[in-house]
A and B are shown apart, each in its own frame.
Chain A
Amino acid sequence: MSFPAINLRSLPGPEDITRVALPNGVTILTRSNFNSPSVVISGYLTVGSLLESDDKLGLADFTASTLLRGTARRSFQQIYDDLESAAASLGFGGGAHTTSFSGKALAEDLDLLLTLLAEAVRQPLFPPEQVEKLRAQLLTGLSVRAQDTGEMASMAFDEIVYAGHIYSRPDDGYPETIQAIRGEDLVAFHGNNYGPRGMVIAVVGAVHASAVVEKVSAALGDWENPAQPEMPPIPSPAPLTQVVTRKVEIPGKSQSDLILGAAGPARRSPDYLAASLGNSVFGQFGLYGRIGEIIREQMGLAYYIFSNVSGGVGPGPWYISAGVDPENIEKTIALIRKEIGRFVADPVTADELADSQANYVGRLPLSLESNGGVAGGLLSLEHYALGLDYYRRFPGLVQAVTVEEVLEAAQRYLHPDRLGIAIAG
């Protein structure tokens, strides 16, 4: 079996990524690509749902969604008229640890994207009529969520696996908490939490690095907010001691969604790469790894089944997700638990690991093909302090993982008798 020979020089690295840290705490990452006339911006601020209270869940996401609904310089209509006339896009989304943004435009319109980004994060107005419009949209989104078997299973899963932990809460809140949020809550959340410290912006496309640094500095370099807090540390979730199952009844559905698993490693955890490669063998590689082969290919029990190690800033879940005929739920769960049992008892084979190692390295050029892919990659390098030479070192890091390390990681996080199991349908 040959290891893929990829041209490491074609991947982003220290000599073609420009990284500049502004004095106010904003970090700029940029890489030029003149193959097409477009540009992508992508990034995050260190503000998220961890900062909101239980009675106003969804506040961080609501705030992020309102940023482009009117600023000190432009109304909602002006903002979108400017964006859409240029065929550009810009959007914000709230998460637990960060509020992210991304946008795309023809390179000639980069100034527009950066100006709107700066206005949105620095001078949003939260116009009351726009807040109410958005509230209606968010509430409708939540009533659609209540009918979505995948989303409801995912929420129930988080409640079991992260019981008592901050990760048990949904970032988009509940209808009653969205109703409880007032306009002044949005203003206060923004004023007290949004700031330049820890903000990262990646710009990738048909623009020179020096121009990017100059433009971003002009838009964000003089932003200060002395009130900006540190994000709270994340405690470890209490490990499960048994199988905990929760069923969410949603009448009238033809298919059930099933999620099972446990808390997994954080992205910076030393065993993250071993866990991730092990997960690839278990539920990703080829047509969804070992469980895809058994549950879908051999037994025909599910249209989709896969497993995932979320990683992230904190201990995101390591889970298996499947869409299953309600009649086949118990059978599917039993088979998955049996496979988890095998996965934590015996090491994966050397061939299995080598397959996934080859895939991890071989897929790099494709995952970094688009400007958006490169921007996402640059943000990961920064967010998890991986270093600008990470992609150059990556093949070596992947190849160094052993079957023993995979087994140890699997045993650390998974056990067939200590799982959260959520079913919705």
Chain B
Amino acid sequence: MSFTKLTLSNGLLVLLKEIHSAPIISHWIWYRVGSRDETPGVTGVSHWVEHMQFKGTALFPAGVLDKAIARDGGFWNAFTYLDWTTYFETMPADKIDLAVQLEADRMLNCRYRAADVRSERSVIIAERQGSENEPLFRLNEEMQAAAFRVHPYHHETIGDMADLQRIQRRDLINHYRRYYIPNNAVLSVAGDFETRAMLEKIRRCFEDIPARPAPKRLERPEPEQSGERRLTVEGPGETCYVQLDYHAPAGKHPDFFPFMVLDSLLSGPTSLNLFGSGVSNKTSRLYRALVETDLAIGISGGQVATVDPFLYTLIMTVHPNSSAQACIQATDEAIKRLQDAPPPVDEVRRAVKQARALFAYGSESITNQGYWLGFAEMFDCYDWFTNYLDRLAAVTPQEVQRVAQTYLKPQNRLVGVYLPQGSGKTPPGANNPPEEEE
């Protein structure tokens, strides 16, 4: 397996990994722009730009691109998140030229026609409405806003409805021109190719795109939270949910790794893979403390690797015969046990074995390999990934205890409860709502 990392003369960072297990190549282009680069008035613009990138160029008009990829048996998609926006194509190896050409073309020549902006506005509003149907989206949106008063992680990637109604074509074009430049991008390619030939293709398609002044990221650090924040969201349904968010370390912070182990002990291992499922969490501490005791129907948790400190999230579906408060209390007790004493060595070793297996499952997919290659560069660098298992294996029980003490304290968290307004009956779980803070 050969790995190459280099920067082209125009600043485009290129990462290539040869993998010859299947005749497939996955091609990813990443831009260092996401919802955290948006100001009020244009929230959602990064995601909308991502949609517009599928509306075609002069060389590849809309409808031609997707058909060309589908004819060749490939698949493609794009994602916008807090810190980044990415576009990928996974293709039969002999068809990869199309992906290289079209991504180079899309960096510069997308059309942004007025009619497309108009129709995409209603598509994106429909996308947001679909999310609003979900209680957990509504709760999470309020939690994120409450967690970040200053930092632009404040809003959901989809954007606020007010801005989706007012964003104009010029806002989209400005955003595109500003961020979609080679010196703000990372190209990661994994699969069945020969490095020298692939690099040649990439140079031919990308190296003539001129560099432009690098955009400065929006820097508004979130001040330390100085007390627990509580909120409720009311909405339709019969099911009560609790969400606990703790301010957590950034992806490149050394505490990120003991935090991964901590998460694994509390709520089960989190998979870093983009596709495919993980393993169940029925022996995790919180499953035993909440689901085994009939306080909750289910529990999940996880953190994400971000540029700036983001959130560690725990979500519980409250049992119909239980209450939000009882779930919060049992969680607090489980956390306190980890703060009071380091976990047994065996439990930590087990978490590391789980991470190792999930890593092995993920490496089966060429698409995942291409994703990992670029993803780590978005918040640190690819070494983060190559060192991932070793750094997890080095985590000690004492470190797990320390991060539990440092991060999982009430002053550093938000408590959110979705209170279902049901169908006229007393909503389950609503008998003990959390106390309001004024």
A: which residues have CB within 8 A of B? Answer: 1, 4-7, 10, 35-38, 76-77, 80-81, 83-89, 91, 104-106, 133, 136-137, 139-140, 143-144, 146-149, 250-255, 285-287, 293, 296-304, 323-325, 355, 358-359, 361-366, 369-372, 425
A81 touches B283 (CB 8 A): yes
B236 touches A293 (CB 8 A): no
Q: How many Å from the CB of A281 to the closest CB on chain B?
A: 11
Closest chain B residue, CB of each to CB of A5: B94
CA distance A83 to B268 in the complex (A): 12
A365 touches B126 (CB 8 A): no
Q: Contacts A36-B363, A325-B126, A364-B73 given: A84-B67 contact, CB under 8 Å?
A: no
Give which listed residue, A4, A83, A88, A301, contacts B72 with CB less than 8 A: A4
Q: Which residues of A are found within 8 Å of B122, using beta-carbon distances?
A: 300-301, 325
A147 touches B360 (CB 8 A): no
A89 touches B320 (CB 8 A): no
B129 touches A255 (CB 8 A): yes
Q: Which residues of A are found within 8 Å of B357, using beta-carbon distances?
A: 38, 86-88, 105-106
Give which listed residue, A87, A91, A365, contacts B23 with CB less than 8 A: A365
Q: Which residues of B are found within 8 Å of A144, using beta-carbon distances?
A: 237, 239
Q: Contacts A84-B281, A299-B119, A366-B90 given: A4-B239 contact, CB under 8 Å?
A: no
Interface residues in B393-438 (C-beta closer than 8 Å to A):
421
A287 touches B66 (CB 8 A): yes
Q: Which residues of A are found within 8 Å of B361, using beta-carbon distances?
A: 36, 38, 104
Give 4 A-B pairs besides A89-B277, A137-B297 with Cβ atoms closer than 8 angstroms. A38-B364, A136-B319, A285-B67, A425-B133
Let me know if B140 is at the binding interface, CB within 8 A: no
Let me know if B74 is at the binding interface, CB within 8 A: yes
In the A-B complex, the 8 residue pairs with the smallest Cβ-Cβ separation, listed nearest first, are: A362-B73, A300-B119, A87-B357, A252-B236, A254-B129, A286-B66, A300-B122, A255-B129
Q: Which residues of B are found within 8 Å of A83, using beta-carbon distances?
A: 279-280
Q: Which residues of A are found within 8 Å of B291, using beta-carbon distances?
A: 133
- List 5 contacting pairs A-B, 8 Å CB cutoff, sorted by A: A84-B280, A85-B353, A89-B280, A136-B321, A253-B236
A365 touches B354 (CB 8 A): no
Let me know if B365 is at the binding interface, CB within 8 A: yes
Q: Which residues of A are found within 8 Å of B269, using beta-carbon distances?
A: 87
Give which listed residue, A80, A87, A149, A250, contacts B354 with CB less than 8 A: A87
B317 touches A140 (CB 8 A): yes
Q: Which residues of B are found within 8 Å of A106, using beta-carbon distances?
A: 357, 360
Q: Which residues of A are found within 8 Å of B280, using beta-carbon distances?
A: 80, 83-84, 89, 91
Closest chain B residue, CB of each to CB of A7: B23
Chain A interface SS verdict (over half) = mixed
CA distance A106 to B362 in the complex (A): 12
Let me know if B22 is at the binding interface, CB within 8 A: yes
Closest chain B residue, CB of each to CB of A280: B70
CA distance A105 to B278 in the complex (A): 11
Q: Which residues of B are found within 8 Å of A253, using beta-carbon distances?
A: 132-133, 236
Closest chain B residue, CB of each to CB of A300: B119
Let me know if B350 is at the binding interface, CB within 8 A: yes
B24 touches A366 (CB 8 A): yes
Give which listed residue, A147, A297, A365, A425, contacts B63 with CB less than 8 A: A297
Q: How many Å from the CB of B281 to the closest CB on chain A?
A: 7
B23 touches A10 (CB 8 A): yes
CA distance A254 to B75 in the complex (A): 30
Interface residues in B107-132 (C-beta closer than 8 Å to A):
118-130, 132
CA distance A171 to B374 in the complex (A): 42
Interface size grouping (class) on chain B: 35 or more
B63 touches A89 (CB 8 A): no
Give which listed residue, A77, A143, A299, A363, contacts B73 with CB less than 8 A: A363
A136 touches B294 (CB 8 A): yes
Closest chain B residue, CB of each to CB of A302: B126
Q: Which residues of B are found within 8 Å of A252, using beta-carbon distances?
A: 235-236, 421
Give which listed residue, A35, A133, A303, A358, contacts B123 with CB less than 8 A: A303
Q: Which residues of A are found within 8 Å of B360, using beta-carbon distances?
A: 36-38, 106
CA distance A273 to B118 in the complex (A): 38
A366 touches B236 (CB 8 A): no
B123 touches A296 (CB 8 A): yes
Let me know if B8 is at the binding interface, CB within 8 A: no
Q: Which residues of A are found within 8 Å of B342, using beta-carbon distances?
A: none
B92 touches A6 (CB 8 A): yes
Let me know if B71 is at the binding interface, CB within 8 A: yes
A369 touches B279 (CB 8 A): no
Q: Which residues of B are found within 8 Å of A363, using beta-carbon distances?
A: 73-75
CA distance A366 to B320 in the complex (A): 43
What does the 1/0 interface line of B52-96 toward A look like (CB < 8 Å)? 001000000011001101111111000000000000001010110
Give which listed residue, B66, B92, B297, contacts A365 with CB less than 8 A: B92
CA distance A359 to B68 in the complex (A): 9
Closest chain B residue, CB of each to CB of A205: B364
B73 touches A285 (CB 8 A): no
Q: Which residues of B are found within 8 Å of A371, using beta-carbon distances?
A: 364
CA distance A300 to B129 in the complex (A): 14
Q: How many Å from the CB of B13 to the closest CB on chain A?
A: 27
Let me know if B238 is at the binding interface, CB within 8 A: yes
B70 touches A139 (CB 8 A): no
Q: Which residues of B are found within 8 Å of A298, using beta-carbon distances?
A: 119
Q: Which residues of A are found within 8 Å of B24, using beta-carbon distances?
A: 365-366, 369
A87 touches B236 (CB 8 A): no
Q: Contacts A285-B70, A365-B92, A366-B75 given: A149-B133 contact, CB under 8 Å?
A: yes
CA distance A36 to B357 in the complex (A): 11
Let me know if B343 is at the binding interface, CB within 8 A: no
B358 touches A87 (CB 8 A): yes
Q: Contacts A84-B280, A255-B133, A366-B75 given: A4-B70 contact, CB under 8 Å?
A: no
Q: Tell which of B74, B279, B320, B321 has the most Cβ of chain A within 10 Å.
A: B279
Q: Which residues of B are found within 8 Å of A143, using beta-carbon distances?
A: 237-239
Let me know if B298 is at the binding interface, CB within 8 A: yes
B23 touches A4 (CB 8 A): no
Let me know if B143 is at the binding interface, CB within 8 A: no
